[in-house]
Each structure stands twice: as structure tokens, then as C-alpha cells.
Structure 1
Amino acid sequence: MPTIHASKALSRFRVLDLSRVRAGPTCVRMLADFGADVIRVEPPQGVDPNEAMFAADRLGGDFQNLNRNKRSLTLNLKKPEGLVVFQRLVRDADVVVENWRPDVKARLGVDYESLRAINPRIILASISGFGQQGPYAWRPGFDQIVQGMGGLMSVTGLPGQGPVRAGLAVADSSAGLYAALGIFIALLERETSGEGQWVHTSLLHTMIAMMDFQAARYLNEGDVPTQAGNDHPTSAPMGLFSASDGLFNLGASGEGNWQRLCKLLERPDWLQDPDFSDEKLRVKHRERLNEQIQRVFSSRTVAHWVDTLNGAGVPAGPVYSVPEMFEDAQVRHLGVVKTVEASTGATRRVVTQPVRLERTAADVLRGAPGWGEHTAEILGEIGYSSDDIRMLRAMEVV
């Protein structure tokens, strides 16, 4: 059966996905959605004591969303025969992605130097918790641990309430996206040099990079970021306000938006108030400013203010629950959700790629694979006969 590619954009590339849980699969999902032939290499059932963390619920929404458009090959890399199979796959592959602790790949013989000896064009993408070297390199990395160490929890939440984790896996997901970016760069560079290279990132470094302006404020101005709740730490008026029937976000930062807001709300006195004469002063006197704005907003509905503010060129938007988010007209227009069929025939809904290419668009053609669903198919592609495959199964290699 010919391999099904979700897009023509990356259809010439083969990716071996050794990754687990979230960061690695997030990286590889992007490659798969843009058409790469992704082979999810996972141990046979019962080999990994932690398999329930990353592969048990094959029809679960999270697994389906992370692993759509991939094929599955079961392979026990702890057995010499399994490593031989993997090495044969590496000969014609372009990318290997893994998110093990740094010592694991060396112990199994799938470190960069070992792979490069087989295929000098191979790109190994490694995602770790804390980096490939250094005092914490051996530590396992989990998203919440890194949210704490990377500073995010110190700036999340209401002032004085103590550290708060973000409501999504920021470190995992962003590390996966940074790794995908590194892979794209390495593939482009390979067109000139003809050689692959080792690409690696860590959840910790990525989390600090995602701190962005908060980190830069401290490094250059010595301004230690703290919790600002629903207010923006450096802009005002920008935050959460109450209408007569609910909450909405206002983003009137910058002089242009500030002037448009004052005009719309018929408050020229705010423009004359010396406490509000520039952005820094509006931040300094945010409490008084917000109180005055809130008194105006309390009189009308969220829908009124969102429409009126945006109509005047002042950014504003409702605060949705997840179900409300998916019902929004613009979300529906963007095609954010697609229904796909899993290997069992069951249908699942997944979130599509937010990056749009007009000529070679990403797509989601199939759900995540069953455990080892494509093992015989993939082994046949690299020269194993039916008898060979039966023998490998009998030896519990696949």
C-alpha cells in the first residue's frame, strides 16, 4: 500500500519518531501534517513500564490529536535485533526525533555519532528537560517542573496569591515547536552542505525564551517581573473588565488606542489628566484608571462593548470557555477543527495546523495509528520478507 502523505510540502522526507508524551509528538505532528512520512517507533506492549503515560489510550482525544497522520512500528530497541532493524530504517531516513534523557540514547546506540556513521545526512532532533550537558542534564523534565524553574509560575496568577502554573503545557508545546523549527533549518542547511547535524533544545531553555519581554526587562532594566493578574504588566489600560452580563478583555495600549478609547467613551478629561498622560503613568496609576473605566463598562453587555470597541479600532474580545471558543464564528471560519477516522473506524475531532501555506497546505488525513498497525508494511519497505517478520515477532523484537 502506498504511503499516504497529508501534504506535498514535506512528502520527500522520512521521519523516525522515537518521542513520547508531548514535546516530541508536538514537534513531529507538524512534520506529519505537512506531509512527511512519519514512522512512530514504539516498544511492543508490555516492554516499557511507563507506556500508560504515552500510548495506552489510543483513541483518547489527546493521543489522537498529537499522533495523527503517523504510522506505527513496534520495535524493541533493547534487543540487538531491534537495533539492527532501526539501523536499517536510519539508512534512508532524514530525521530522527527523540525526547529521552541524554544518557538513554547513548546506552541504546542511537546517539548522533552512531546514527551519523550509518547515514551522514541524518538529522537527530533531541528534546530534553534541561539540556544535553550540565549539572541537571540527567534529570527527567516535566512541564510543570520547568514552568517553575523557568520563571513562568512567578508571573502567573493574581498578585500575592503565590506561584500558579499556566493552564496548558507551555514548556512542552513550545519546546516541540522550537525543535520543529530547528529541524526545518537543518534540512535547509543540508541542501548546501550535504550533511545532517544534531539539533537539540530543552524545556528549560525554551521556557526562558518564552518569557521573552519579561526576561528582557530584568536583564536590561533590572525590573523584576511579578504577578499582575489579568492586567498587562507594562501596558494600560489593558486587562479584564466587567460588562453588565459578563467579562471581556480590553487592549487599549499605546497612544493611538488610548486616544480612540477616550473619544469613544466621551471622556476627554482622561486625556487631560496628568496621571494618564503617557503609558508609564497609566500603568503607575492603573488602579484609579481601571476603576473609572469599569464604571462606564458596567452599563452595557459584553457583545455591545466588543462590537463597539472593535468598530472604533480598539482591541477587545470576550472571555470564552473552551466550548464557547469552538462555537465562535471566526474559529469556525478558520477551520480549526477537523473530524478524522482512527484505525478502529471511530471518528475523532482534532485541532488543525495554525500555519497555512496556500499552495502546499497541511492537512489531517487520518487519526493516530493503532499500536504497531504498520509494522509489517514498514518492515516490508526496507527489505524484510514475510518469514523475516514472523521470526522477529516470535523473538518479540516487533
Structure 2
Amino acid sequence: MKQPLEKIKVLDFTRVLAGPYCTMLLADMGAEVIKIEKPGTGDDTRGFGPFLNNESGYFTFLNRGKKSIELDLKNPEAIAIIKELVKEADVVIENFRPGVMKKLGLDYESLQLINERIVYASISGFGQYGPYSQRPAYDLVAQAMGGLASITGHAEHPPTRAGSSLGDMSAALYAAYGVMVALFHREQTGEGQYIDIAMVDSIFSLLESNVMRYTVDKIVPERIGSRHPISSPFDIYKANDGYIVIAVANDSLFNKLCRIMGDPGLKEDVRFSTDRARTEHENELKAIIENWLQAYTVEEAVEKINEGGVPSSPILTIDEICEDEHTRVREMLIEMEHPVAGKMKILGNPVKLSKTPVVIKNPSPLLGEHTREIIEKYKNRTKINI
């Protein structure tokens, strides 16, 4: 079965997380991704744990299905090889600090003179222009500058980083989305284009109603823990042996919850008769719900609430979600055979396509594994000795 991006060739100048996750998504869909790595050490994440037989699990997950070539970007002959590769490439993706690729002569303006159909994506902390564009950034900086840290955590504690690298991951997703849009545009017009993705922009775009609460009502959202800013009950609640989530976002669901709790009159209480009123009296409502929950274990409460048609769940730990039957059925953990590490379980792809399902054919490459295979083709054309 053919994959949707089977004829697409990607030159991958990325490292660490945002860029490699983007190009991994393209490789999952069948693109030929050629990862250009620093000789001797390669991508920084080759040195990140956890390790299996001295191979990085971090790198293995992010770089599955790619080819690796070692090229020193300070070597003019390496640049010449890259420019030959560009002639046949469809996509270039990089995540250096703005200006680095221009100094190397590998920026969009230079490469589109070689191949006017090239789609070129740059991922950086603050974008390619703007007063902060030259600032260095990692995910924590993006979460802080993008506004997410200010609304994450509890009011009585300092701002908190979200538990996953959302700055990197959201930028990767937007970059992959941008590449798809640009390739579709190219199919219609024949022309490539440039894509500028900033981690801070990506985080900011995820703030949804928090931004609108400020722009419309001039309310500055604050840290409120796990509860929802405009709906209640929508929080984490204590049962008799642990914590559960209950998510009620409208009056109909609240009426159902009242019936489940055996207290249909609760919805007539003026404090809880509307979503806005419930949010204003959230602490009182939470006390009533948690008092009711003391008669149930987490498992019993979740089953009872779900059966009544109200969204509820336990709070799974990483080991629990990894071992969960739903995770297995959805193929969100897959086992790969790495030539050095051996069998390793890595995250699957969440995009489930009916006609062209994701097929992850190859593990992550060894450093420089495909250097000779790829470069030999171009040495004959250019008489380059590298």
C-alpha cells in the first residue's frame, strides 16, 4: 500500500525535539527524510537518555524512518553536496537560530534559486522577525513567554511548566501542517514557499479562551489549578481512595450529574442553576461532590458517572496508560527492532487514516548510516571528494 507522502523528499537540518518531531511525522506518512547530522556526534539527542544497549530511546522515537548522513556544514564541499540534494528535494526543514542558514548559504532565498518548487520551513523560539527573534529559546522559555506558565498550577504556588514540552510539540505540529498546506498549494500552482514557525506563537495560539477573556472582558486569567475558568463542575475531585476527573460544561450534563448523585433538587439551588452561577460558587459545589464521592472508590465512581452520560475518568500514571488496553488497541505504543538497541517500544502515530494508514517501516538510523549511499550519487555529478 502506498503512503501519502511516498514521493516527497525532505532534507532535515533539525535537532533535539521540535524539528525532529515534525520530520518524524512526515516520515511516518511515507516521506523520504534525509537527516543531516554533525560528524562524530550527530543530533544532541543521541546522548539523551533513557538508553537501551547504549542507544538513546529519545533519539530512536523522534527519528524513526529517517536516513542519516554526516556532513560538516562548515565544509564548502558539504554545502555543494547539499545544493545538489536540493535540486531533487521537495522540502527543507531547519531549526537553527534565525540567520544561521543564511550565513551557510542555505537559506530559503538561496535554495529557491536552485529549486523554485522547494517548500522550506524554519522552526525557532521567537520566529524569523520581531524584536525577540534573536533570543535563544527552549520549551520552558516558550511556555513562559507564550503565556502558558502564567495560567498553569495553583494560585498559591509559582507558575508551572506543563508536564510535556508543548512549545516544541505544538511548533512541530504547526510546521508539519504548514508543510502540507504548502505542498498542496504547490500542486495547484507549481510554486514553493517559505514557512516561519515560532514556538512562542505556537504556545500563544493554544491559549484559546484565556486570550478572549482578556481581549473581550479585560480579565487577566490566573492560575486556578485543574478547574475550568468558565464551567463547573470541571475539575479533579477526591474519591475515597484517590482522585477522579469530572467534566461538566453545560446545564444538561449537570442535570445528569445531579441524577447520578441521587440529588435532582441540587440543580434547583440558585447557586448551581446555571454554569456561571456554579463557577461563582465552585468551592461550595466541589465540597458537595467530594462528600458524595467518599462512598465510592475511583473505579466505582468513574463507572457510575460514565454510565450516567457524564464525562469522567481516573488520572492515569504513565505506566497505567502504557499498559492500558485502549492504548494497545489504538496502536499508540509500537514495538520496533533496532539494529543495536534491539526491541524497543516507542510512541505510535495518533493520525488514523482509513485508506493510507501509517506504516513505520524502519527504526531510527545509526549516525551516518546512509552517508555513502546518498553522497556517492552526487559525487559523480560534481566531482566532489568528501
Shift of 1:240: 0.7
Aligned counterpart, 1:396: none
Match for residue 246 of structure 1 among 242, 246, 259? 242
Q: Is 1:15–1:96's contact at 8 Å kept on the other side of the alignment?
A: yes
Aligned counterpart, 2:184: 188
Match for residue 261 of structure 1 among 257, 260, 272? 257
Give the Cα–Cα distance (whole angstroms) in 2 for the partners of residues 326 and 372 of structure 1. Answer: 32
Q: Is 2:124–2:198's contact at 8 Å kept on the other side of the alignment?
A: yes
Shift of 1:344: 2.1
Shift of 1:41: 0.7
Listed one character per residue, the Cα deviations across residues 220-256 of structure 1 (whole Å, up to 9, x for unaligned) are: 2212111111211211001111112211101122111
Match for residue 286 of structure 1 among 266, 282, 288? 282
Match for residue 8 of structure 1 among 3, 7, 11? 3
Match for residue 31 of structure 1 among 26, 35, 39? 26
What SS does the aligned partner of 1:174 have?
helix
Task: Kindly report which structure 2 residues correspond to 1:163-312, keeping only aligned pairs within 5 A, or say none.
Answer: 163-312=159-308
Give the Cα–Cα distance (whole angstroms) in 2 for the partners of residues 242 and 383 of structure 1. Answer: 64
Match for residue 73 of structure 1 among 65, 69, 75? 69
Give the Cα–Cα distance (whole angstroms) in 1 for the partners of residues 2 and 23 of structure 2. Answer: 14
Instruction: Give the letter aligned to residue 160 of structure 2.
Output: V
Give the Cα–Cα distance (whole angstroms) in 1 for the partners of residues 43 and 35 of structure 2. Answer: 16
Aligned counterpart, 2:90: 94
Give the Cα–Cα distance (whole angstroms) in 1 for the partners of residues 158 and 2 of structure 2. Answer: 46
Is the counterpart of residue 142 in structure 1 residue 138 in structure 2? yes
Instruction: Give the letter aligned to residue 124 of structure 2.
Output: S
Point out where structure 2 has 5 or more consecutive residues left out of the alignment: 49-53
Identical amino acids, percent of aligned pairs = 37
Give the Cα–Cα distance (whole angstroms) in 2 for the partners of residues 332 and 68 of structure 1. Answer: 20
Aligned counterpart, 2:331: 335
Give the Cα–Cα distance (whole angstroms) in 1 for the partners of residues 180 and 310 of structure 2. Answer: 37
Give the Cα–Cα distance (whole angstroms) in 1 for the partners of residues 20 and 157 of structure 2. Answer: 34
Instruction: Give the letter aligned to residue 270 of structure 2.
Output: P
Q: How many residues of Structure 1 are paired with residues of Structure 2 in the alignment?
A: 381
Higher alpha-carbon deviation: 183-192 or 58-67:
58-67
Is the counterpart of residue 54 in structure 1 residue 82 in structure 2? no
Aligned counterpart, 1:367: 363
Q: Is 2:16–2:43's contact at 8 Å kept on the other side of the alignment?
A: no
Give the Cα–Cα distance (whole angstroms) in 2 for the partners of residues 215 and 45 of structure 1. Answer: 46
Give the Cα–Cα distance (whole angstroms) in 2 for the partners of residues 111 and 142 of structure 1. Answer: 22
Give the Cα–Cα distance (whole angstroms) in 2 for the partners of residues 142 and 39 of structure 1. Answer: 24
Match for residue 104 of structure 1 among 97, 100, 104? 100
Give the Cα–Cα distance (whole angstroms) in 1 for the partners of residues 307 and 329 of structure 2. Answer: 20
Is the counterpart of residue 351 in structure 1 residue 347 in structure 2? yes
Q: Is 1:255–1:279's contact at 8 Å kept on the other side of the alignment?
A: yes
Q: Structure 2 length normalisation: TM-score?
A: 0.95
Shift of 1:386: 12
Listed one character per residue, the Cα deviations across residues 38-77 of structure 1 (whole Å, up to 9, x for unaligned) are: 000112115xxxx673333572111111110101011111
Instruction: Give the letter aligned to residue 92 of structure 2.
Output: V
Higher alpha-carbon deviation: 219-228 or 337-346:
337-346
Higher alpha-carbon deviation: 135-144 or 10-19:
135-144
| Alpha-carbon RMSD | 1.8
Instruction: Give the letter aligned to residue 217 of structure 2.
Output: E
Give the Cα–Cα distance (whole angstroms) in 2 for the partners of residues 379 and 21 of structure 1. Answer: 24
Q: Is 1:340–1:365's contact at 8 Å kept on the other side of the alignment?
A: no
Point out where structure 1 has 5 or more consecutive residues left out of the alignment: 1-5, 393-398
Give the Cα–Cα distance (whole angstroms) in 2 for the partners of residues 209 and 275 of structure 1. Answer: 34
Shift of 1:305: 1.2
Give the Cα–Cα distance (whole angstroms) in 2 for the partners of residues 150 and 345 of structure 1. Answer: 38
Instruction: Give the letter aligned to residue 15 of structure 2.
Output: R
Give the Cα–Cα distance (whole angstroms) in 2 for the partners of residues 215 and 96 of structure 1. Answer: 33
Shift of 1:200: 1.2
What SS does the aligned partner of 1:259 have?
helix
Task: Say if 1:52 and 1:196 are closer, same or farther in 2 by CA, change over 3 A.
Answer: closer
Q: Which runs of 4+ in 1 moved over 6 A?
A: 386-389
Shift of 1:94: 0.1
Give the Cα–Cα distance (whole angstroms) in 1 for the partners of residues 43 and 124 of structure 2. Answer: 20
Q: Is 1:69–1:367's contact at 8 Å kept on the other side of the alignment?
A: yes
What SS does the aligned partner of 2:179 have?
helix
Q: Is 1:7–1:363's contact at 8 Å kept on the other side of the alignment?
A: no
What SS does the aligned partner of 2:103 have?
helix
Task: Say if 1:7 and 1:221 are closer, same or farther in 2 by CA, change over 3 A.
Answer: farther
